[in-house]
């Protein structure tokens, strides 16, 4: 057995990752991108380890781009003093806002078309109500539209109207 640590120990994982990153740079002439979704759920410990990954460089060339994707809580979390060292390494911050009414309308029509529908199953008032209730946020639009389609089906309606949307929204809350 000896004194060898398992490869999944933190320091071994970081060493392995650094070797992969250096290989990408040296042999493949590319900069890897580490993409982390739902980053608002990361612990302070994990964020500190991610910050340490930003140290990977050769000469003055950064070897790794890190992109954190998360909900609004991520922005609030990173604004805390605890994350000052982390924030000093952030190059770009971007907040994606909800869609406007027209974008929401086009989004729903597109999703219906991709699913094989003709887009007329939602009344224009229903789409306006979806926009009002979802604030143009795609995840909320999808959830409300899906539940509303199910309700309309169960009610044997050919069209989803604003009343179905309101009823469906009550179930989500």
pLDDT above 70 (res 10): no
Stronger pLDDT, 17 or 47, i.e. the higher one: 47
Residue in the structure block whose two tokens are 């306006």? 128
| Average pLDDT of every residue of the chain | 89
Q: Which residue segments constitute the domains of the chain, with CATH numbers given? A: 10-87 (no CATH), 101-172 (1.10.8)
pLDDT per residue as tens digits for the range 53-69 = 888 877 777 888 999 99
Q: Name the pairing type of β-strands 61-62 and 57-58.
A: antiparallel
Tokens representing residue 77 in the block = 């979390």
pLDDT per residue as tens digits for the range 69-110 = 998 899 999 999 999 999 998 888 888 889 999 999 999 999
């Amino acid at each position: 057995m000896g004194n060898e640590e398992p490869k999944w120990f933190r320091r071994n994982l970081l060493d392995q990752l650094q070797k992969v990153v250096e290989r990408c740079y040296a042999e493949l002439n590319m900069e890897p991108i580490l993409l982390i979704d739902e980053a608002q759920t990361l612990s302070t410990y994990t964020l500190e380890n991610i910050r340490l990954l930003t140290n990977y460089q050769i000469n003055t060339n950064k070897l790794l781009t890190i992109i954190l994707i998360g909900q609004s809580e991520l922005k609030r979390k990173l604004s805390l003093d605890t994350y000052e060292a982390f924030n000093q390494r952030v190059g770009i911050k971007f907040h994606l806002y909800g869609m406007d009414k027209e974008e929401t309308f086009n989004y729903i029509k597109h999703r219906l078309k991709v699913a094989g529908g003709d887009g007329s199953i939602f009344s224009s008032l229903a789409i306006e109500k979806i926009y009002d209730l979802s604030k143009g946020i795609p995840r909320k639009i999808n959830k409300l539209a899906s539940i509303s389609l199910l309700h309309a089906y169960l009610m044997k309606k050919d069209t989803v109207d604003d009343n179905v949307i309101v009823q469906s929204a009550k179930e989500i809350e």
